[in-house]
Amino acid sequence: MSVLVNKDSKIVVQGFTGNEGTFHATQMIEYGTNVIGGVTPGKGGTTHLDKPVFNTVADAVKHAGANVSIIFVPPAFAADAIMEAAEAGIGLVVCITEGIPTKDMITVKEYLRGRNTRLVGPNCPGVITPEEAKVGIMPGFVFKKGTIGIVSKSGTLTYEAADQVVKAGMGISTAIGIGGDPIIGTTTLEAVQLFMNDPATEGIIMIGEIGGSLEAEAARWIKENNRKPVVGFIAGQTAPPGRRMGHAGAIIGGAEDTAAAKMKIMAECGITVVDSPAVIGQTMAKVLGKVMA
C-alpha cells in the first residue's frame, strides 16, 4: 500500500523542457518513477528525455492516461498550470514552484473547491513512495521502503526525518511535503488522515513550524481519532514574535502560532513531541517498541 502515488501512477511534468523540469524529471525517471511525458505549450509532438511532449495537460491525459501532474512552471504562470491540470481531470497535482502570489493561490483554492483534484504544495518538495514513485525534488536515496508516514512543512526536515527513520532500522511508507506557504492545498490534518487510513502505515511523523494553525488542527483531530502513534516536531523554537523564518507562512501572528504553544497542544493531544529532529527516528522506534538497528 501507499498514499497518493505508487508505481502505477502516470506522471506528467508541466514545465517539462525548462531547466528545473528537465533536471528533476531526469532524476524522477532515474529513480524509476513512471513519467509518461511532459507539457510545454508550442512543443507538442516533439520528444524530451525520450518522452513525448504535449501542448496541454488535456492532451497528456487523452493520449497517455496521465493522472498525476508535477509543476515546475515559473511563479507567474503556476496558478494557471494548477487549474489547467484540474480542468483536465488530473487527480493529484504536486506544485513545486515557490513564490506564487498569495492572491493567485486564493483563486486556485476557490477553483479547486468541489473538484476531484488534490493539490500538494505549492513551494514543497513533493511526494515520495520509496522504491515506487518520486514525484518531487527530494533525494531519493535517503528514503527506504517501510511503514512510517511522514508529513512535513519543511523539505529539508522531511529528508532529515527520513534519514533518522532509516537509521533507526525502519522505513517510510510515503512522505508528503505539504509546503510552508500561507495558502496550500493538502493540509497537515488531511495528510495525517490519509496515513491513519492507510493499512501499510504503522506510525506517523508530523513536522510543523511556527505560524498558522495547521498543526493544532491536526493535533486536536488526532486526540479524538488516533489509531496509530504520532511523533511530532515543530521548527522555529527560538523564533521571536513577528519574525518570519524561511517560509512565507512561517510567521508568528497569534498565541498558538509559537513553537512552544504548538508543542504544548500536540503533547496534550497525545502526540509524542521531540525537541530535536535528531531524535525523531529513535523516538518513533521506541514508541513502536522496535529494537534500534
Q: What is the mean pLDDT of residues 22-44?
A: 98
- Options 3.40.50.720, 1.25.40.10, 3.30.470.20, 3.40.50.10420; CATH of 11-120: 3.40.50.720
Structure confidence by residue, pLDDT tens digits, 57-84: 999 999 999 999 999 999 999 999 999 9
Predicted confidence band at 291 (pLDDT cuts at 50, 70, 90)?
A: low
Q: Helix/strand/coil (H, E, C) string of the chain?
A: CCCCCCCCCCEEEECCCCHHHHHHHHHHHHHCCCEEEEECCCCCCCEECCEEEECCHHHHHHHHCCCEEEECCCHHHHHHHHHHHHHCCCCEEEECCCCCCHHHHHHHHHHHCCCCCEEECCCCCEEEECCCEEEECCCHHHCCEEEEEEEECCHHHHHHHHHHHHHCCCCEEEEEECCCCCCCCCCHHHHHHHHHCCCCCCEEEEEEECCCCHHHHHHHHHHHHCCCCEEEEEECCCCCCCCECCCCCCECCCHHHCHHHHHHHHHHCCCEECCCHHHHHHHHHHHCCCCCC
Q: What is the mean pLDDT of residues 139-157?
A: 96
Structure confidence by residue, pLDDT tens digits, 1-25: 579 999 999 999 999 999 999 999 9
Task: Assess whether pLDDT exceeds 70 at residue 184.
Answer: yes
Task: Assess whether pLDDT exceeds 90 at residue 148.
Answer: yes
Task: Assess whether pLDDT exceeds 80 at residue 254.
Answer: no
* Reported pTM: 0.93
Predicted confidence band at 243 (pLDDT cuts at 50, 70, 90)?
A: low
CATH architecture of 138-287: 3-Layer(aba) Sandwich (3.40)
Please report, for the chain, the start and end positions of each structural domain, with discontinuous segments joined by +: 11-120, 138-287
Q: What is the mean pLDDT of residues 45-60?
A: 98
Instruction: Give me the active site residues, please.
Output: 247
